[in-house]
């Protein structure tokens, strides 16, 4: 499946940073727990996201060919002291500016280290787009604010997530990875609110040799149906399956099992 253009990813990162900053400056309680990431406060989440942007900026800007320890990245931890929304906002803004500038300068094909099978700057542009897309959902849900994302970005986020799970299936010898294998089981994702220009349906097959997936409308063991943003958030475990806008048809236990086991590893 063709991903989005590199410049679109760069634009999206910049736009997502701006939207996340509005949460920081909205008056939301920075010390409040994020329900979808209960080990974090809202400030922890923002610092994680800004630190990730600075880490990727360092990797791309220095053309790193091996993993970079976070402690080598300048100002990766964010401002001191904690609890200062203005300082956190300024630091997040600068984090976004730096990584977008580095990614634009590098273009999509510059060779750099990554933890996946694609070792180029294009991987990081896409990864950071969807990292902040999902974590902005965490932040907005925690703050009680509305959340939306462009349909083509939401669809590409599902594609990327499936590609990551597929990659982990091939490379990690973990029992939890092997448990997703098995002939004859499948999951169908069906977005109900997209027009004819966007195919927002997926079939995920749990085959004996690993996970396989493709876009399209096909019968499956279980189907998850609803608006695309809701399907995205449910598939990323940010929205419960019994949310009012979602419907599950077929073997719900299989879908719940997938959501427990599918991960970055």
Question: What does pLDDT average to in each consecutive run of 10 residues of the chain (265 residues)?
Answer: 86 98 97 97 98 98 97 97 97 98 98 94 98 98 95 96 87 67 88 86 90 94 97 96 96 94 72
pLDDT at 1: 41
Long-range contacts of 15-20 (CB under 8 A, 24+ apart): 16/129, 16/132, 16/133, 16/136, 17/53, 17/92, 17/93, 17/95, 17/96, 17/100, 17/132, 18/96, 19/136, 20/46, 20/49, 20/92, 20/132, 20/135, 20/136, 20/139
Q: Are residues 133 and 249 in the same domain?
A: no
pLDDT at 173: 61
- Give the H or E element holding residue 135: helix 121-143
DSSP secondary structure of 166-233: HHHHHH---HHHHTT--TTEEEEEEESS--TT---EEEEEEETTEEEEEES----SEEEEE-HHHHHH
Report yes or no: 3 and 156 within 8 Å, Cβ to Cβ: yes
pLDDT at 263: 73
Domain end position, chosen among 143, 167, 196: 143
Q: Are residues 104 and 214 in the same domain?
A: no
Q: Are residues 116 and 156 in the same domain?
A: no
Q: Are residues 10 and 30 in the same domain?
A: yes
Asked if the structure places residue 115 within a domain, the reply is yes
Asked if the structure places residue 114 within a domain, the reply is yes
CATH of the domain at 35: 1.20.120.450
Q: Are residues 130 and 31 in the same domain?
A: yes
Long-range contacts of 87-93 (CB under 8 A, 24+ apart): 88/24, 88/30, 88/43, 88/46, 88/47, 88/50, 89/21, 89/24, 89/25, 91/50, 92/17, 92/20, 92/21, 92/24, 92/46, 92/49, 92/50, 93/17, 93/21
Q: Are residues 167 and 217 in the same domain?
A: yes
Asked if the structure places residue 188 within a domain, the reply is yes
User: Measured between alpha carbons, how far is 82 from 30 in angstroms, rounded to an integer?
Assistant: 9
Q: Within its chain, how far is the Cα of 94 from the centroid?
A: 21
Q: Are residues 91 and 191 in the same domain?
A: no
> Domain count of the chain?
2
Asked if the structure places residue 102 within a domain, the reply is yes
User: Measured between alpha carbons, how far is 17 from 241 in angstroms, rounded to an integer?
Assistant: 28
CATH of the domain at 201: 3.30.1050.10
pLDDT at 177: 61
Q: Are residues 174 and 115 in the same domain?
A: no
Q: Are residues 93 and 173 in the same domain?
A: no
Domain end position, chosen among 143, 162, 196: 143
- Give the H or E element holding residue 250: strand 247-250
**Domain range for 234:** 151-261
Q: Are residues 136 and 17 in the same domain?
A: yes
Asked if the structure places residue 1 within a domain, the reply is no
Q: Are residues 120 and 240 in the same domain?
A: no
Q: Are residues 167 and 93 in the same domain?
A: no
pLDDT at 165: 87
Domain end position, chosen among 143, 168, 193: 143
Asked if the structure places residue 62 within a domain, the reply is yes
Asked if the structure places residue 17 within a domain, the reply is yes
User: Measured between alpha carbons, how far is 92 from 89 in angstroms, rounded to an integer?
Assistant: 5
Sign of the dihedral through C-alpha 260, 192, 13, 28: negative
Asked if the structure places residue 111 within a domain, the reply is yes
């Amino acid at each position: 499946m063709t991903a989005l253009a590199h410049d679109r990813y760069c634009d999206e990162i910049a736009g997502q940073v701006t939207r996340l900053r509005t949460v920081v400056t909205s008056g939301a309680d920075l010390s409040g727990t994020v329900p979808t990431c209960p080990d974090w406060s809202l400030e922890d989440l923002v610092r994680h996201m800004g630190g990730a942007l600075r880490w990727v900026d360092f990797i791309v800007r220095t053309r790193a060919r091996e993993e970079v320890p976070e402690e080598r990245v300048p100002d990766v931890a964010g401002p001191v002291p904690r609890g200062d929304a203005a300082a956190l906002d300024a630091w997040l803004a600068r984090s976004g500016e730096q990584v977008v500038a580095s990614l634009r300068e590098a273009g999509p094909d510059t060779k750099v280290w990554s933890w996946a099978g694609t070792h180029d700057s294009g991987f990081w542009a896409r990864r950071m787009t969807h990292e902040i897309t999902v974590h902005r959902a965490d932040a907005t849900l925690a703050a009680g604010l509305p959340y939306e994302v462009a349909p083509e970005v939401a669809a590409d986020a599902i594609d990327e997530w499936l590609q990551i799970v597929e990659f982990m299936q091939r490379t990690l010898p973990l029992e939890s990875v092997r448990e997703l294998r098995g002939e004859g089981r499948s999951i169908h994702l069906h977005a109900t609110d997209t027009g004819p220009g966007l195919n927002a349906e997926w079939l995920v097959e749990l085959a004996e040799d690993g996970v396989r997936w493709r876009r399209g409308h096909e019968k499956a063991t279980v189907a998850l149906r609803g608006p695309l943003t809701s399907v995205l958030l449910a598939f990323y475990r940010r929205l419960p399956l019994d949310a009012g806008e979602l419907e599950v048809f077929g073997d719900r236990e299989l879908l719940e099992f997938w959501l427990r086991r599918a991960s970055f590893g």
